[in-house]
Structure 1
Amino acid sequence: MGAVQRSMTVVGAVLLVVGLAAFAAGALSADDLRALGARTAPVLGFVAAISVVAELADRAGVFAMLVHRAERLGRGRVWVLWLVFAALAVVATIFLSLDTTAVLLTPVVVLAARRLGLDPLPFAFTTVWLANTGSLLLPVSNLTNLLAHQRLGDPTPWEFAELTWRPALVAILVPMAVIAAVFARTLRQRYRPAVPAETTDRTRRRWSCVVLVVLLPALVSGVAPWIPATIAALALALIALVRGDRRSVRPSLVPWPLLLFAGGLFVAMEALVRAIPADRLDGLATSSTIGAAMSGAVGANLLNNLPAYLALEPIATDRTSLVALLVGVNAGPLITPWASLATLLWHQRLEAAGVRIPWGRFVLLGAVTCALTVPLAVWTV
């Protein structure tokens, strides 16, 4: 277990104890906990299932295959390769969640850049920024979206996308424009495509691709996302077992630290909201789009985007301000390393790959990109 997972486990356990203490003190009732469980169980179920899907797909070599195809599509032009990598990051984020992009796509993209003799930083920045800013479009793209989806009255994925597609598009294009400008010298280079050695089971990889192709439309079909994600996770586990890879199918596939962190956070934040008088919340309520978005962005970079969303959700008074809040907590966490769990996990994977991140540059570029992205995205809400 890495340092990030250990920290999540400790913080989650502390938050859960705080929440249970609030229950024991009477600040939370049994009905409150039951209502909270009914709201969050499908969310946590989806997070667990999609994490298993992504991990087993990675072990089957799906992401490595996609990156190799991207190298061939680039035809020696780095800027084309970068655009294909960016498209992969966006698709992975939208359908498989931002953590998938940060945890699984980042290492293979960075290793591909090194294999081709390229600076890995523009590709690393692309995956982490698009993991965050690209997570606005669908409910399944981000844990905050799943929570907002319920707050919005459980619209279909298409109805949700109708509310978010404009800011989602802006939130993708603006960071890409910044990267294109900052890393222009690298992107103008050329490369010679490498031929990686075949190290995966082709049959397993093909069947895993079939499962993912079926899963993606199922996630936007209107069925509760945890259902197709769970079926896909079981299917991929069965494929791994049939192909003789029993070591991959183990309990540690489930992201227990993340589930504990999120569960503890849900309970603790519910206790905090219940402790605030209703008239005080009414006084804080806002329908200002820019106010909701900037509050979300500031809160995410000071704390983390998930507690920022949970704390600010009660004061978003209508659909427009709630979508603006999502812009802030999804597209805004670009400045501090702890602004989102995806960024923390991304950093851990880069460290494992031996890539050093210049944090001063990360903070500066993130601040500029956040200052451009959030207002422009909110303007389209």
Structure 2
Amino acid sequence: MTVVAVTLVAAVLVFAIVRPHGLPEIVVAGPAAAIALALGVVTPGQAWDEITELAPTVGFLAAILVLAHFIDALGVFSWVASVLTRSGGGDPRRLLTLVFAVAAVTTAVLSLDATVVLLTPVVIRAARALRMQVRPHAYATAHLSNSASTLLPVSNLTNLIAFSATGLTFIHFTAVMALPWLVTVAIELAVFLVFFRRDLADPVTEPVPSDTPPPEVPHSETPLSETPVQPAPVLALSVLAATLVGFALGGLVGIAPVWIAAAGAAVLAVPALRDGLTTPRRIVFAADLWFCAFVLALGVVVAGISAGPVGDWLGDRLPTEASLLGMLLTAGIAAVAANLLNNLPATLLLLAALGSGAPTGLVLALLIGVNLGPNLTYIGSLAMMLWRRVATDGGCRPELGTFTRLGLATTPLAIIAATTTLWLVL
């Protein structure tokens, strides 16, 4: 049965990576979950427990994706484009620093999918409009979509899955992870500035492709770096801020994050629909219901491994104490597992192996590993797979050699530094 379980997980992940003809991941994940049930790899009780445990997380995923869609429709990312173009003009290093700041905040607040899908095209267009090398800025959104996703429980699906196991409130989780998050972003930026020093040396490197429109800024006869910043979309930003406060306060009174995100989306839906900025069909598409179903099916398939010899083997070898060595070992194992299995199934598997009574430090170290580790390979996270497609569509085709060298230069150092900082904080 173990061989069958591993084969099913492998088939699901390979299909998710390749996505032939653009078919959704559920095309294979759904049948794989059904096969696991039919062959007894997973019992109906185990499958139901997995689905009910993941349901609130998946509901939040749909809600935050819709919220991000409304934020985009109401002009937040167009405003960000104008800020980047106005403030970063003439200095590639300054633009890269601004991209890091925006990507880190976007990932933390709206989750890594918003950084990949909504911010990456904006960054590519801004760099091209300013006639700067695109690579440093495009790769920045890729790395920050993973490495900046440790700050809030809502920043990454992996955080949401593990949040209850930490035993922390929303505010406490954020307070504990704040310093490791800052250390991670600072290390990534320092390495990027050195790694891409040649790309950043010359501010004018390539003409703007004729099919790449610049960010929408007024007074086109004025140099882009001197154009005024668009007015900030006050309503959208205010609702977003209120939603964040709601996440923090909701945990104190027992309101799940999914309801807070849904409330924020509902408020923004009124002006977005009234002004014709979106349609019901686009909203449903933004919720990505097929992907939500894929997450549930994947949980069922991975349960077949977690409940078998592989899960027992991992459980016997994972640390049981949140010492510095134990946390570093847990983060390292989690990073390796993320790059072998993808970070979502790795999180499900390792949480089950750690057990319900795992120390908070080990669970948080696990999150550092599964969130930062995917910067080593394309298959480490689903967001990274999506970034490859988005960057390619934007005219910045990722290079495996560059991606791998950059990952080796940043990821081990960032994981060690972030985990050590976490241990000091705890």
TM-score, normalised by the number of residues in structure 2: 0.80
Q: Which residue in the other structure is 2:104 paired with?
A: 90
Matched AA of 1:271: G
Residues in 2 aligned to 1:213 and 1:40: alpha-carbon distance in whole angstroms? 26
* Deviation digits for residues 98-131 of structure 1 (CA, Å, limit 9, x no counterpart): 1111111010011000000000111011111111
Q: Which residue in the other structure is 1:236 paired with?
A: 268
Secondary structure class of the residue paired with 2:374: coil
Q: 1:315 to 1:239 in 2, by over 3 A?
A: same
Q: Decide which moves more: 306-315 or 109-118.
A: 306-315
Q: Does 1:217 align with 2:245?
A: yes
Kindly state the Cα deviation for residue 168 of structure 1 after the two structures are TM-superposed.
Answer: 1.9
Count of equivalent residues: 375
Q: Which residue in the other structure is 2:227 paired with?
A: none
Q: Which residue in the other structure is 1:339 paired with?
A: 380
Q: 1:4 to 1:231 in 2, by over 3 A?
A: farther
2:364 to 316, 323, 328: 323
Residues in 1 aligned to 2:165 and 2:288: alpha-carbon distance in whole angstroms? 25
Residues in 2 aligned to 1:217 and 1:6: alpha-carbon distance in whole angstroms? 41
1:268 to 290, 298, 301: 301
Secondary structure class of the residue paired with 2:291: helix
Kindly state the Cα deviation for residue 28 of structure 1 after the two structures are TM-superposed.
Answer: 4.1
Residues in 2 aligned to 1:8 and 1:338: alpha-carbon distance in whole angstroms? 17
Q: Decide which moves more: 41-50 or 227-236.
A: 227-236
Kindly state the Cα deviation for residue 186 of structure 1 after the two structures are TM-superposed.
Answer: 4.0
Tell me the C-alpha RMSD between the 2 structures.
2.8
Q: 1:219 to 1:242 in 2, by over 3 A?
A: same
Kindly state the Cα deviation for residue 25 of structure 1 after the two structures are TM-superposed.
Answer: 4.6
Kindly state the Cα deviation for residue 203 of structure 1 after the two structures are TM-superposed.
Answer: 10
Paired residues of 1:300 and 1:308 also in contact (CA < 8 A): yes
Kindly state the Cα deviation for residue 266 of structure 1 after the two structures are TM-superposed.
Answer: 0.9
* Deviation digits for residues 182-236 of structure 1 (CA, Å, limit 9, x no counterpart): 1234445558xx88346xxx99944333322322322332242111111122222
Paired residues of 1:110 and 1:124 also in contact (CA < 8 A): yes
1:254 to 287, 296, 304: 287
Q: 1:24 to 1:4 in 2, by over 3 A?
A: closer
* Deviation digits for residues 267-288 of structure 1 (CA, Å, limit 9, x no counterpart): 1112322234986564234232
2:329 to 279, 291, 294: 291
Matched AA of 1:376: A
1:48-127 equivalent positions in 2, closer than 5 A: 48-74=62-88, 76-127=90-141
Q: 1:81 to 1:121 in 2, by over 3 A?
A: same
Paired residues of 1:8 and 1:260 also in contact (CA < 8 A): no
* Deviation digits for residues 110-169 of structure 1 (CA, Å, limit 9, x no counterpart): 10000000001110111111110001111101111111102123x211211233233222
Q: Which residue in the other structure is 2:224 paired with?
A: none
Q: Which residue in the other structure is 2:223 paired with?
A: none
Q: 1:357 to 1:22 in 2, by over 3 A?
A: closer
Residues in 1 aligned to 2:242 and 2:364: alpha-carbon distance in whole angstroms? 29
Residues in 2 aligned to 1:120 and 1:277: alpha-carbon distance in whole angstroms? 43
2:235 to 207, 212, 228: 207
1:138 to 145, 152, 167: 152
Percent of residue pairs identical? 34
Secondary structure class of the residue paired with 1:135: coil
Q: Decide which moves more: 101-110 or 285-294.
A: 285-294
Paired residues of 1:285 and 1:314 also in contact (CA < 8 A): no
Structure 2: unaligned runs, 5 residues or longer: 1-15, 205-213, 219-229, 321-325
Residues in 2 aligned to 1:195 and 1:60: alpha-carbon distance in whole angstroms? 15
Residues in 1 aligned to 2:243 and 2:202: alpha-carbon distance in whole angstroms? 37
Q: Which residue in the other structure is 2:216 paired with?
A: 196
Paired residues of 2:126 and 2:215 also in contact (CA < 8 A): no
Q: Decide which moves more: 113-122 or 167-176.
A: 167-176
Matched AA of 2:274: V
Residues in 1 aligned to 2:273 and 2:304: alpha-carbon distance in whole angstroms? 43
Kindly state the Cα deviation for residue 375 of structure 1 after the two structures are TM-superposed.
Answer: 1.7
Q: Decide which moves more: 271-280 or 75-84.
A: 271-280
Matched AA of 2:388: H
Q: Which residue in the other structure is 1:348 paired with?
A: 389
Q: Which residue in the other structure is 1:378 paired with?
A: 419
Residues in 1 aligned to 2:172 and 2:404: alpha-carbon distance in whole angstroms? 35
Q: Which residue in the other structure is 2:323 paired with?
A: none
Q: Which residue in the other structure is 2:350 paired with?
A: 312
Kindly state the Cα deviation for residue 96 of structure 1 after the two structures are TM-superposed.
Answer: 0.7
2:189 to 176, 186, 192: 176
Residues in 1 aligned to 2:285 and 2:369: alpha-carbon distance in whole angstroms? 32
Residues in 2 aligned to 1:114 and 1:333: alpha-carbon distance in whole angstroms? 27
